[in-house]
């Protein structure tokens, strides 16, 4: 018999967090998250998603043993801005048993029905950021790059059989900085920067408040209203996201483009070292010896993930994306990074896809967000 239990205490939350260690114990590609960090996220500390509405956690048990989990909630801010009644699911895990998966999904949907929702989407990021979004549907042949999803190949089958349909595919591109056509790229970039009078600067970490405000300026005008799954974050949400990621940052991998005429921000890119190379060694714990491993391996990271890249509409098709990307590639090559992943790029974001593909990016993984009427 399968029992679905709502998590209401610290013991239940610990079981919710610990479950993947059992499910993935024989999978060499799985990367364990830091348990302490996950606990803070699920308690709502610096978590922009939980600021936006109610949520809860469910665990599936059989013979008193956890065998599945799901996070379900409502992003009231997104619903208000998009005029819809939609819930979300996140952090879905299950043993390879359709009855378990369906029981968890039933419980989540019943919870949303009781609160007046008429549709559900997911799996979404548990922070409303760019971490753990979607189910991996292509590219199961290696470990994920920093904060990207990883799951068994049978998860998409569960969602399809339950009646979910594709909402959007999120794309991941692999590239080698050493294969970027640097001379050709440089000529195009220098011509565009002179013609359209803009420059590309590294983030100023001594004035991070200004950089965050400028990121918000760009995001406010760059996210198309047709993007049903995203709205520009509030300043509070953006601050929370930056504070959560700040400890992972390499100052040489973050760039802001500005107009020379009025010094206004016109675009930015955020890339972070692939700390999954380090997390793989820690098994979810920094103590007692994990911290020493962390300090040792963090200086030996050879890859990076490019998270977000936006340009204001006024400067689109003026090589701003390309200029930012060029600066990033040159610097990453100088610092010895041997690979990068541009992700996750919405399939409808044609401009970003062109920039990455123009720099030699190869589509190698796809993550899928699903939706379902309820």
Sorting pLDDT into bands at 50, 70 and 90, what band is 48?
A: confident
pLDDT of residue 276: 94
* pLDDT tens track for 325-341: 888 888 988 889 999 99
Residue 311 has phi, psi (to 5 degrees) of -135, 140
Phi, psi of 300, deg, nearest 5:
-120, 15
Question: What mean pLDDT comes out for the span 187-204?
Answer: 93
Closest CA to 90 of 58, 125, 119: 125
Q: What's the rounded Cα separation, in Å, for the pair 211 and 170?
A: 26
Residues 17, 228: Cα–Cα separation, whole Å: 29
Q: Chain centroid to CA 100: how far?
A: 26
CB 220 within 8 A of CB 232: yes
Rounded CA separation 270/268 (Å):
7
**Reported confidence tier of residue 185, pLDDT bands at 50, 70, 90:** confident
Residues 369, 167: contact at Cβ < 8 Å? yes
Distance CA 211, CA 133 (A): 25
Per-residue pLDDT, 285: 83
pLDDT for residue 275 is more than 70: yes
Give me the pLDDT at residue 228, please.
59
179 preceded by a cis bond (ω within 30 of 0): no
* Choice among 119-128, 178-187, 212-221, 273-282 with the minimum mean pLDDT: 178-187
Burial of 116 (0-12, 13-18, 19+ CB in 10 A): exposed
Instruction: Tell whether omega for the bond before 123 is within 30 degrees of 0, i.e. cis.
Output: yes
Homologous superfamily of 3-164: Gcn5-related N-acetyltransferase (GNAT) (3.40.630.30)
Q: Is the pTM of this model over 0.75?
A: yes
Q: What are the distances in angstroms from CA 240 to CA 46, 91, 127, 245?
A: 5, 20, 10, 9
Average pLDDT, the chain: 90
Tell me the C-alpha distance between 150 and 167, whole Å: 19
The neighbouring-strand residues paired with 51 are none
What sign results for the dihedral spanned by CA atoms 145, 48, 55, 223?
A: negative
What is the pLDDT, as a whole number, of residue 10?
Answer: 94
CA distance 122 to 370: 5
Q: Residue 340 burial (CB < 10 Å; 0-12/13-18/19+)? A: buried
- What pLDDT sits at residue 267? 94
pLDDT of 226 over the 60 cut: no
CA dist., res. 72 & res. 107, Å (int) = 9
Domain boundaries, the chain: 3-164, 174-373
The Cα–Cα gap between 44 and 38 comes to: 10
In this chain, the answer to whether the domains covering 3-164 and 174-373 adopt an identical fold is: yes
pLDDT digits (tens, 9 = 90+) for 66-91: 999 999 999 999 999 889 999 999 99
Domain 174-373 has CATH 3.30.750.80: no
Q: What's the angle, vertex CA 247, arms to CA 244 and CA 248, rounded to 5?
A: 95
């Amino acid at each position: 018999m399968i029992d679905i239990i709502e998590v209401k205490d610290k013991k239940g939350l610990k079981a919710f967090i610990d479950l993947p260690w059992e499910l993935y114990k024989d999978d060499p590609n799985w990367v364990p998250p830091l348990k302490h960090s996950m606990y803070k996220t699920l308690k709502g500390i610096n978590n922009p998603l939980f600021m936006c509405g109610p949520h809860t956690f469910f665990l599936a048990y059989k013979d008193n043993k956890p065998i599945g989990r799901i996070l379900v909630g409502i992003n009231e801010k997104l619903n208000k801005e998009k005029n819809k009644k939609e819930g979300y699911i996140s952090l879905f895990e299950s043993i390879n048993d359709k009855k378990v998966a369906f029981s968890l999904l039933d419980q989540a949907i019943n919870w949303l029905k009781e609160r007046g929702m008429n549709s559900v989407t997911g799996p979404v990021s548990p922070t409303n950021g760019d971490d753990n979004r979607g189910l991996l549907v292509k590219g199961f042949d290696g470990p994920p790059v920093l904060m990207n999803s990883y799951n068994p190949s049978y998860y998409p089958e569960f969602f399809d059989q339950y009646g979910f349909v594709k909402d959007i595919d999120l794309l991941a591109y692999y590239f080698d900085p050493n294969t970027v056509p640097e001379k050709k790229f440089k000529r195009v970039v220098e011509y565009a920067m002179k013609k359209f009078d803009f420059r590309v600067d590294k983030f100023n970490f001594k004035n991070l408040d200004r950089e965050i405000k400028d990121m918000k300026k760009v995001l406010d005008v760059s996210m198309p209203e047709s993007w049903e799954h995203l709205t520009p974050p509030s300043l509070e949400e953006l601050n929370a996201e930056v504070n959560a990621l700040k400890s992972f940052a390499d100052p040489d991998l973050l760039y802001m483009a500005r107009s020379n005429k009025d010094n206004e921000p016109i675009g930015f890119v955020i890339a972070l070292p692939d700390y999954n190379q380090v997390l793989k060694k820690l098994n979810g714990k920094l103590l007692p010896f994990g911290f020493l491993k962390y300090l040792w391996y963090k200086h030996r990271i050879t890859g990076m993930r490019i998270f977000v890249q936006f340009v204001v509409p006024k400067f689109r098709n003026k090589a701003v994306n390309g200029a930012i990307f060029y600066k990033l590639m040159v610097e990453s090559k100088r610092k010895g990074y041997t690979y990068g992943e541009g992700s996750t790029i919405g399939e409808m974001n044609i401009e970003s896809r062109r920039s990455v593909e123009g720099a030699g990016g190869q589509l190698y993984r796809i993550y899928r967000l699903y939706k379902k009427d309820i």
